[in-house]
């Protein structure tokens, strides 16, 4: 069998066109801004931003004679998180017995989850680790993943420290806004760097959002303002989302003071098909495959399933998948300070602690995969036996990214 071809790696124009084609739902302007943000954030940022490109490369790489033989492990399917990388894990508060008190360390981005080969999910995580720091040994991380498959969820003191910080901040909304000189509510500078704010939704859309959000949060809040925005970079870069600024109804002048620490922002992100679609449906959309479908009901069911497996059914207050017709389905999440995502460039931890955190994330990923495996599955045994094959496969995937990224840097220079 001849080795696969990668025509997009022949020139920067071919690569940018190929990346644009992977996002048919985004405008040319959105894809251009997304690409600029990906290049500015470096090789790891590029990997994060283009989830479908990883699975597109993997689909072709599997036919390479030099790609490791996984002896059937690569066809064992379960529920994948889709966008597994070290900065998509963190602490989350979930409900337990009607109260928001169960703190979990897990995957925090559910909208790419879908059924698929579990080895692809693991391989994406391992490739991300190599792109972040190729000096990190992958064997201990794979071993931690296997411990998660076996049901071991004893996390290190690093995660326990993250959980302690989350407990202290769990009831504090994230402060995203400020008052300008004219007493108008404006996004803070760090937020404007990450998001592009539009003029606001049309009146009919704003009314529908307001009615739907009040149905979610109840009568104890009032809607102060609604923004239409798009993230500049990252996996959801360019996707339309809405921020709804809420304030307690019982407070006087609540909206006038909605920038303060009591204000709460709901993030409503438009759902798209899973980033795994190039691997699962290389010939185009398949109605029966949840990873490839853009049918609203199927997308909502897919994300609900992801929330269930990653966090449990009681996913927490103000976390849901909704559709306010005629608007497309959206993932709703509150911006709480207690929901802490991992930041690899943080100076809070030493290198040794960061490596331990990567192992904890692998363990959490293994635990998620375990929930979708049938009893008696041979998959955990395959992981143990084929550890060296996983390391080699991640090295080959890393090499493709290190070929691609310099082309994009030329395009930006």
31 close to 20: Cβ distance less than 8 angstroms: yes
Walk along the chain (413 residues) and give the pLDDT tens digit of each residue: 678 899 999 999 999 999 999 999 999 999 999 999 999 999 999 999 999 999 999 999 999 999 999 988 988 999 999 999 999 998 887 654 445 566 788 898 899 999 999 999 999 999 999 999 999 999 999 999 999 999 998 999 988 888 887 777 666 677 787 777 777 778 888 888 999 998 889 999 999 999 999 998 888 888 988 999 999 999 999 999 999 988 888 766 667 665 666 678 899 999 999 999 999 987 765 556 788 888 899 999 999 999 888 877 556 667 889 999 999 999 998 887 767 788 877 767 888 999 999 999 999 999 999 999 988 789 999 999 999 999 999 999 999 999 999 999 885 54
Dihedral sign for Cα 165, 367, 234, 350, please. Answer: positive
> CA 139 to CA 384: how far, in whole Å?
10
Torsion of CA 402, 60, 75, 152, to 10 degrees: 10
Q: Where are the alpha helices (DSSP H) in 133-187?
A: 139-149, 157-169
DSSP state of 345: T
pTM, to two decimals: 0.93
Asked if 96 and 103 count as a contact pair (C-beta separation under 8 A), the reply is no
HEC letters along 237-265: CCCEEEEEEEEECCCCCCCCCCCCCCCEE
pLDDT given at position 97: 46
CB half-sphere exposure, 215, CA atoms < 13 A: 11
Measured distance CA(221)–CA(264) in Å, rounded: 9
Burial state string for 21-30 with b = 16 or more CB within 10 A and e = fewer than 16: ebbeebeeeb
Per-residue model confidence (pLDDT) at position 320: 87
212 is written with which tokens? Answer: 């739907």
Let me know the angle formed at the C-alpha of 327 by 240 and 283, rounded to the nearest 5 degrees.
70
Give residue 153's pLDDT.
86
**What distance in Å separates the CA atoms of residue 103 and residue 81, rounded to the nearest whole number?**
19
Burial of 405 (0-12, 13-18, 19+ CB in 10 A): buried
Give me the residue label for tokens 């960061």: 354
Cβ-based neighbour number of residue 173 at 10 Å: 19
């Amino acid at each position: 069998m001849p080795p696969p071809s990668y025509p997009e790696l022949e020139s920067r124009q071919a690569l940018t066109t190929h990346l644009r084609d992977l996002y048919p739902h985004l405008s040319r302007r959105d894809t251009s801004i997304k690409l600029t943000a990906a290049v500015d954030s470096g090789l790891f940022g590029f990997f994060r931003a283009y989830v479908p490109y990883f699975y597109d490369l993997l689909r072709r790489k599997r036919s390479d004679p030099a790609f490791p033989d996984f002896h059937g492990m690569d066809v064992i399917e379960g529920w994948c998180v889709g966008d597994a990388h070290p900065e998509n894990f963190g602490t989350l508060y979930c409900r337990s017995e009607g109260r928001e008190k169960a703190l979990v360390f897990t995957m925090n981005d559910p909208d790419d989850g879908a059924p698929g080969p579990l080895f692809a999910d693991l391989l994406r995580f391992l490739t991300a680790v190599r792109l972040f720091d190729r000096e990190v040994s992958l064997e201990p991380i794979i071993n931690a993943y296997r411990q998660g498959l076996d049901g071991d969820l004893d996390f290190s003191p690093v995660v326990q420290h993250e959980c302690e910080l989350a407990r202290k901040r769990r009831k504090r909304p994230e402060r995203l806004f400020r008052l300008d000189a004219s007493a108008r509510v404006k996004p803070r500078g760090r937020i404007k760097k990450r998001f592009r704010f539009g003029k606001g939704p049309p009146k009919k859309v704003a009314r529908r959002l307001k009615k739907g959000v009040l149905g979610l949060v109840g009568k104890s809040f009032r809607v102060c303002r609604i923004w239409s925005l798009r993230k500049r970079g990252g996996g959801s870069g360019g996707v339309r989302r809405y921020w709804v600024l809420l304030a307690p109804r019982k407070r006087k002048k609540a909206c006038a003071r909605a920038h303060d620490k009591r204000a709460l922002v709901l993030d409503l992100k438009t759902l798209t098909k899973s980033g795994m679609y190039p691997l699962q449906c290389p010939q185009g959309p398949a109605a029966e495959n949840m990873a490839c479908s853009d049918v609203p009901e199927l997308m909502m069911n897919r994300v609900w399933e992801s929330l269930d497996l990653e966090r449990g059914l009681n996913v927490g207050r103000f976390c849901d998948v909704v559709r306010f017709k005629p608007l497309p389905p959206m993932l709703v999440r509150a911006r709480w300070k207690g929901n802490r995502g991992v930041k690899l460039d943080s100076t809070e931890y030493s290198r040794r602690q960061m490596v331990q955190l990567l192992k904890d994330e692998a363990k959490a990923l293994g635990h998620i995969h375990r929930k979708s495996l049938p009893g008696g599955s041979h998959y955990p045994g395959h992981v143990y036996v084929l550890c060296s094959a996983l390391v080699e496969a991640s090295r080959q995937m890393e090499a493709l990214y290190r070929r691609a990224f310099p082309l994009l840097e030329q395009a930006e220079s």
